Amino acid sequence: MMIPKKPLVGIIMGSSSDSKVMHNAAKILDDFGIRHEDQIVSAHRTPTRLEEYAKHAEANGFKVIIAGAGGSAHLPGMVASHTVIPVVGVPIMVYNDKSGKKSDEFKFSAFGGMDSLLSIVEMPNGSPVATVGINKAANAGLYALKMLGNEYPELRAKLKKFKQTQHNSVVMESDEMKKSGLVRFVQKKFK
Ligand code: RP5
């Protein structure tokens, strides 16, 4: 089946504060030529939009939703409770990033993202959210691609190539390390 030229993935986040982290999911989808639609939907500031968004995602035929949020992150779980489209959750550590405040005190959640991770991963039985690590939006993008790969052989082939590239780059670095020895390898690589 040909990959359709319309968004297959919906990316949502609780705030523009999350956008720097979440754009890594968009980047990997772009790399593989998969269209996505990106929006801000806040579970606590725009609760009525959640249900509307779920309806919109279904009407537009999204196959996966990637949802990122920080703090006591309800967005991924709540959107999952409104739809049968699989949801991949991204716990976010950066907090209130749009405040413009330079101090780190305002930039990170009190629990370093653990609050968000546990809120997302510990969904009760019945409304699952597949959860990636804290700030690992790129992994959410990759996971979405793998799900889509079940349907589109062309994408599956690209993912296999991606794996091979990963393999080759590790072997290349290992050869370099073997040749120069660990001390010189580190001096060269991290100088
Ligand atoms: C959550 O609160 C958002 O997902 C964000 O990570 C966090 C802080 O949001 P702002 O106060 O910066 O908008 O809803």
147 shares its domain with 74: yes
Determine the distance separating the centroid of ligand 1 and the alpha carbon of 95, expressed in angstroms.
Answer: 6
Contact between residue 140 and residue 132 where contact means Cβ atoms under 8 Å apart? yes
The reply to whether 94 falls in a domain is: yes
172 shares its domain with 131: no
The reply to whether 83 falls in a domain is: yes
The reply to whether 2 falls in a domain is: no
42 shares its domain with 66: yes
User: Which residues in the chain come in under a pLDDT of 50?
Assistant: none
- Amino acid 97: pLDDT: 79
144 shares its domain with 168: no
The reply to whether 169 falls in a domain is: yes
Testing ligand 1's pocket by substitution, the residue of 11, 12, 17, 40 carrying the most ligand atoms inside 8 A of its CB is 17
- Residues lining ligand 1, Cβ inside 6 A: 14-15, 17-18, 42, 69-71, 92, 95-96, 98
**Residue 24, domain CATH:** 3.40.50.1970
91 shares its domain with 170: no
Question: CA 126, CA 79: separation in Å to the nearest integer?
Answer: 13
131 shares its domain with 183: no
Domain count along the chain? 2
- Amino acid 105: pLDDT: 64
Whole-structure pTM value: 0.94
131 shares its domain with 175: no
């959210």: which residue's tokens?
Answer: 129
Q: Which residues of 116-142 are buried (b: 16+ CB within 10 A; e: fewer)?
A: bbebbbebeeeeebbbbebbbbbbbbb
21 shares its domain with 100: yes
Secondary structure E strands in the chain: 9-13, 36-40, 64-70, 87-92, 130-131
Characterise 135 by phi-psi region: left (phi > 0), alpha (psi -120 to 50), beta (else).
left
Q: Which residues of 40-67 are buried (b: 16+ CB within 10 A; e: fewer)?
A: bbbbeeeeebbeebbebbeeeebbbbbb
Determine the distance separating the centroid of ligand 1 and the alpha carbon of 163, expressed in angstroms.
Answer: 34
**Structural domain range at position 181:** 160-189
83 shares its domain with 143: yes
Question: CA 49, CA 94: separation in Å to the nearest integer?
Answer: 23
CA distances from 49 to 53, 103, 136 (A): 6, 32, 25
Question: CA 31, CA 24: separation in Å to the nearest integer?
Answer: 11
Determine the distance separating the centroid of ligand 1 and the alpha carbon of 108, expressed in angstroms.
Answer: 10
87 shares its domain with 14: yes
Q: Identify the three-state secondary structure at position 172.
A: helix
Atom of ligand 1 nearest to the CA of 70: 6
Testing ligand 1's pocket by substitution, the residue of 72, 96, 111 carrying the most ligand atoms inside 8 A of its CB is 96
- Amino acid 108: pLDDT: 82
Determine the distance separating the centroid of ligand 1 and the alpha carbon of 188, expressed in angstroms.
Answer: 40
CA distances from 87 to 1, 77, 84, 132, 182 (A): 23, 8, 9, 11, 42
The reply to whether 25 falls in a domain is: yes
pLDDT in tens, 3-54: 999 999 999 999 999 999 999 999 999 999 999 999 999 999 999 999 999 9
Determine the distance separating the centroid of ligand 1 and the alpha carbon of 94, expressed in angstroms.
Answer: 8
Determine the distance separating the centroid of ligand 1 and the alpha carbon of 146, expressed in angstroms.
Answer: 28
184 shares its domain with 111: no
The reply to whether 1 falls in a domain is: no
74 shares its domain with 126: yes
The reply to whether 147 falls in a domain is: yes
